[in-house]
Amino acid sequence: MTKAQAPGKRTYILDTNVLLYDPGALFVFQEHDLVLPIICVEEIDKFKREMTDRGRAARTVSRQLDQMRASGHLAEGVPLPGGGKLRVELGHPSDNAPLFAGAGASNDNIMLRMAQRMLQDGKSSPLIFVSRDVNMRLKADALGIRVEDYEHAHLQTDEAYTGVMERDVPAETVAEAYAKGSIPEEGEGISPQQFVVLRNATQLNHTAMMRYDARQKLLKLVGRYKEGCWGVFARNREQLFAMDLLMDESINLVTLDGMAGTGKTLLAMACGLKKVADEKRYRKLVVARPVFPMGKDIGFLPGSVDDKLNPWMKPIFDALELLCGGAEEKEETHAHRRGHAPNYQSLLDQKIIEIEPLTYIRGRSLPRQFLIIDEAQNLTPHEVKTVLTRAGEGTKVVLTGDRYQIDNPYVDATSNGLSYVAERFRSSPMAGHVTLKKGERSALAELAAQVL
CB 254 within 8 A of CB 246: yes
Q: Give dist(CA 432, CA 76) in Å, integer.
A: 47
Domain with CATH 2.30.130 in the chain: 155-222
State residue 311's pLDDT score.
Answer: 60
**3-state class (DSSP) for residue 355:** strand
* CATH superfamily of the 11-153 domain: 5'-nuclease (3.40.50.1010)
State residue 307's pLDDT score.
Answer: 58
Q: Give dist(CA 201, CA 398) in Å, integer.
A: 35
State residue 326's pLDDT score.
Answer: 40
228 CB-near residues (< 8 Å, 6+ apart): 234, 270, 335, 336, 338
Q: Which pLDDT tens digit goes with each residue over 69-85?
A: 888 889 888 999 888 89
State residue 337's pLDDT score.
Answer: 41
Angle formed at CA 259 by CA 412 and CA 420, multiple of 5 degrees: 40
Task: Spell out, as residue ranges, where the chain has pLDDT lower than 70.
Answer: 1-7, 98, 101-104, 124, 153-159, 204, 224-226, 291-312, 326-342, 360, 362, 449-450, 452
Predicted TM-score (pTM) above 0.75: no
CB 428 within 8 A of CB 238: no
State residue 230's pLDDT score.
Answer: 86
**3-state class (DSSP) for residue 128:** strand
H and E: helices and strands count for the chain = 13, 17
Short-list 71, 70, 46, 77, CA closest to 59? 46
State residue 159's pLDDT score.
Answer: 66
State residue 432's pLDDT score.
Answer: 96
State residue 310's pLDDT score.
Answer: 61
The CATH classification number of 155-222 equals: 2.30.130
Enclosing H/E stretch for 423: helix 417-424
Short-list 37, 50, 52, 28, CA closest to 358? 52
CB 323 within 8 A of CB 273: yes
Type of residue numbered 177: A
State residue 226's pLDDT score.
Answer: 65
Short-list 3, 43, 9, CA closest to 29? 9
Pairing of strands 353-357, 284-289: parallel
Domain with CATH 3.40.50.300 in the chain: 227-451
Domain with CATH 3.40.50.1010 in the chain: 11-153
Does the domain at 227-451 match CATH 3.40.50.620? Answer given as no
Q: What is the DSSP string of 303-338?
A: SSHHHHHHHHHHHHHHHHHHHH--TT----BSB---
State residue 154's pLDDT score.
Answer: 59
